[in-house]
């Protein structure tokens, strides 16, 4: 077998590269083909459709998530580790959230992740559907928190692609948003406070905060059982 034969794996891997670099909208079969060194339509022998390819890519990335050893640490530590690992993964692949909004993702990669997640919350003391729900609460929160980041990345890329100074347009857009928000008293106060503080604060402060809140809440559920 010559070395640049197409394989489904190679296609998926290359698609992930392209998705990371260009986003969901930036992935097209022609540039994928070019990157693979073959005709665009050659891919169709290995993969049913673009949707299918996105689904494969969207499952594959779950394998990057680190699964903590549950015998070595308490459930809350394990859950924190996994949540952060999930967060990092999604930030690496900002297209994933959007893909999950249009494609029903369920493959070996995600199953592997989910299974280990369930184990954590079962270890914590949740039984049956409650373990499901506990996992879903954390999981969904992390997913949701990356939505904003995904949108920002996508936007930046779109601006860049359309030519023109992305920085400039971004700033203008922010200014416009601010102007609207300023008309509301509490948003007004918040924006001023943020500006005074010099735009500081790492974005994942809200990840920390949210996880803390949710884990506390889960412990309350366990105690009240």
Binding site for DNA (CB under 7 A): 1-2, 5-6, 27-31, 33, 38-42, 44-46, 49-51
Cβ nearer to DNA, comparing 19 with 138: 19
The site for a second copy, by CB under 8 A, has a size of 71
Binding string to a second copy for residues 29 to 68, with x set by CB under 8 A, is what?
A: ----------------------x-----------------
DSSP state of 48: S
114 binding a second copy? (CB under 8 A):
yes
- Taking CA atoms, 225 is separated from 74, 127, 130, 152, in Å, by 20, 11, 11, 41
Beta-carbon count within 10 A of 137 CB: 16
Looking at the Cβ atoms of 36 and 83, the one nearer to DNA is 36
Among 1, 3, 72, 104, binds a second copy (CB under 8 A): 104
- Residue 222 contacts which entry, a second copy, DNA, none (Cβ below 5-8 A, type-dependent): none
Helix (H, G, I), strand (E, B) or coil at 69: coil
CB closer to DNA out of 29 and 96 = 29
Stretch that binds a second copy, among 10-18, 63-71, 84-92, 108-116 (CB under 8 A): 108-116
Q: Which stretch, 8-16, 39-47, 61-69, 105-113, contacts a second copy (CB under 8 A)?
A: 105-113
Smallest separation, CB 33 to DNA (Å):
7
Buried b (16+ CB within 10 A) or exposed e, 141-165: bbbebbeebbeeebeebebeeeeee
Q: What angle do CA 97, 102, 108 make, to 5 degrees?
A: 70
In the complex with a second copy, the residue whose CB is nearer, 44 or 141, is 141
Instruction: Compute the least distance from the CB of residue 2 to a second copy, in Å.
Output: 32
8 lies in the binding site for a second copy (CB under 8 A): no
Specify the residue, 42 or 67, whose C-beta has the smaller distance to DNA.
42
Q: Which of 9-17, 29-37, 63-71, 107-115 is the region at the interface with a second copy (rule: CB under 8 A)?
A: 107-115
Q: Which residues contact 40 (CB under 8 A, 6 or more apart)?
A: 29, 30, 32, 33, 34
| Residues in CB range of 68: below 8 A, 6 or more apart | 77, 78, 81, 82, 120
d(CA 158, CA 151) in angstroms, rounded, equals 10
CA 31 to chain centre: 24
Give the relative orientation of helices 50-60 and 108-124 as an angle to the nearest 10 degrees.
40
């Amino acid at each position: 077998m010559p070395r640049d034969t197409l394989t489904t794996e190679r296609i998926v891997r290359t698609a992930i590269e392209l998705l990371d670099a260009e986003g969901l909208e930036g992935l097209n079969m022609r540039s994928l083909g070019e990157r693979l060194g073959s005709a665009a339509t050659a891919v169709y022998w290995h993969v049913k459709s673009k949707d299918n390819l996105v689904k494969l890519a969207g499952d594959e990335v779950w394998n990057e998530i680190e699964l903590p050893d549950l015998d070595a640490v308490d459930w809350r530590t394990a859950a924190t580790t996994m949540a952060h690992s999930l967060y990092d993964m999604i930030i690496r692949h900002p297209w994933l959230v959007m893909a999950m909004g249009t494609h029903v993702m369920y493959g070996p990669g995600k199953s592997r992740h989910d299974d280990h997640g369930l184990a954590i919350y079962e270890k914590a003391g949740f039984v049956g559907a409650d373990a499901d729900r506990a996992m879903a609460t954390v999981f969904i929160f992390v997913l949701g928190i990356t939505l904003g980041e995904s949108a920002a990345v996508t936007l930046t890329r779109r601006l860049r692609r359309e030519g023109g100074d992305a920085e400039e347009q971004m700033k203008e857009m922010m200014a416009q948003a601010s102007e609207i928000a300023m008309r509301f008293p509490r948003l007004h106060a918040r924006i001023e406070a943020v500006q005074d503080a010099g735009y500081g604060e790492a974005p994942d402060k809200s990840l920390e905060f949210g996880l803390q809140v949710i884990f506390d809440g889960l412990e309350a559920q366990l105690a009240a059982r």
